[in-house]
Amino acid sequence: MSQLLAVNHLSKSFGAVVVANDLSFSVTEGEAVGILGPNGAGKTSLFNLLTGALRADNGTIEFCGKDITHTPAALRCKNGIARSFQIPKPFVGMTVFENCLVAATQAAGLRGARARQHAIEVLNDTGLIDKANHHAGKLTLLDRKRLEMARALSTRPSLLLLDEIAGGLTEAECQTLISSIKKIQSAGTTIIWIEHVVHALLAVVERLIVLDFGKKIAEGDPQTTMAQDAVKAVYLGVE
């Protein structure tokens, strides 16, 4: 499998607050990588840097072998990077279906009936089809999170960035989520998943990256990474 994403010496700070500190890692095609770290470790900022919502101070990002460090957000999404927002950002004046249609037409580049068909398929897969005509602004938090996932999938991503989508789910819902993420991965989509619900994360990912203050403090096989002292110290608060 070839390398899909390569992050080299990425740095970003807001004044004294460092959200990415000389961060380097890579992701191969088809892989599922988990990102752990305490609040404020720079996890969501990392996603913002990857999607282009934030510009890096230093370092480069390569996607599909191309340097995308200075590529605008819209183009990165068209090229295959999609994300879900930790705090859902639905298009509140639109229906659930229309939210997905934005992604299908603008990012996936589909037109007319094909775009509509794709949005319908995604809604079927994510269990939102019965709410297709609901106003996105009136959804419950859980459905908003589902919509985040559906909208990201409607872009036909090759790299899917999931930002804390398991929070607040019941155990049964969590299992459904796990199996649907596994299905997305087995269909060929590469996944990077930020999650505090560790057992859900560990059920899916093959590799873990642990961040603290924007710095990578551990990386590797999930079980051995979780067992490292440095990880226990910052993440679980164990001395």
Partner 1 sequence: MNTRVTRSSRFSNGALAVLALLVVVLLTAPWWAGRAELRLFGEIYLYLSLACLWNLMAGYAGLVSVGQQAYVGFGGYMLFALTIYAGIHPVAAIIAGGLLAAAISIPVATLIFRLNGAYFAIGTWVVAEVFRLSFAQVSALGGGSGSSLPVAIVKSLADSRSARESLSYYLAIGSLILVFAAIYFLLRSNRGIALTAIRDNESAAAELGVNVWRTKLEIYVVTSALTAIIGGLIFLQKLRISPEAAFSVNDWTAFVIFIVVIGGIGTLEGPIIGTIIFFLLRETLADFGTTYLMILGLVAIIVMIKAPKGLWGLISQRYDLEIFPLRYRVQQSATTEQG
Does 74 engage in binding with partner 1 (CB under 8 A)?
yes
In the chain, the amino acid numbered 126 is: T
Minimum distance from CB of 135 to partner 1 (Å)?
Answer: 9
Question: Starting from the edge strand earliest in sequence, which strands make up the sheet with 17-28, in order?
Answer: 17-28, 3-14, 58-63, 66-67
Does 51 engage in binding with partner 1 (CB under 8 A)?
yes
Strands (DSSP E) contained in the chain are 3-14, 17-28, 32-36, 58-63, 66-67, 81-83, 159-163, 190-194, 207-212, 215-220
In whole angstroms, what is the distance from residue 143 CA to residue 136 CA?
9
- Cα-Cα-Cα-Cα dihedral sign, residues 152, 158, 164, 165: positive
Minimum distance from CB of 171 to partner 1 (Å)?
Answer: 29
Residue among 15, 65, 93, 237 that touches partner 1 (CB under 8 A)? 93
Residue among 5, 23, 33, 107 that touches partner 1 (CB under 8 A)? 107
> Helix 171-186 and helix 112-126: axis angle, to 10°?
140
Does 213 engage in binding with partner 1 (CB under 8 A)?
no
How many chain residues touch partner 1 (CB under 8 A)?
39
Does 151 engage in binding with partner 1 (CB under 8 A)?
yes
Closer residue to partner 1 in complex, CB, 121/219: 121
Binding window for partner 1 (CB under 8 A); candidates: 4-12, 19-27, 56-64, 69-77? 69-77
What stretch of H or E contains 232? none
Binding window for partner 1 (CB under 8 A); candidates: 61-69, 122-130, 177-185, 221-229? 122-130
Residue among 52, 56, 144, 177 that touches partner 1 (CB under 8 A)? 52
Residue among 19, 23, 32, 77 that touches partner 1 (CB under 8 A)? 77
| Nearest Cα to Cα of residue 25 among 208, 188, 161, 157 | 208
Closer residue to partner 1 in complex, CB, 68/101: 101
What would you report as the CA-atom Rg of the chain, rounded to the nearest whole angstrom? 17
Binding window for partner 1 (CB under 8 A); candidates: 38-46, 112-120, 162-170, 172-180? 112-120
Closer residue to partner 1 in complex, CB, 155/185: 155
The structure tokens 């403090």 sit at 217
In whole angstroms, what is the distance from residue 184 CA to residue 173 CA?
17
CB 232 within 8 A of CB 217: no
Does 63 engage in binding with partner 1 (CB under 8 A)?
no
Binding-site ranges for partner 1 (CB under 8 A): 51-53, 72-75, 77-78, 82-83, 85, 89-95, 97-98, 101-103, 105-108, 111, 115-116, 120, 123, 129-130, 132-133, 151, 155
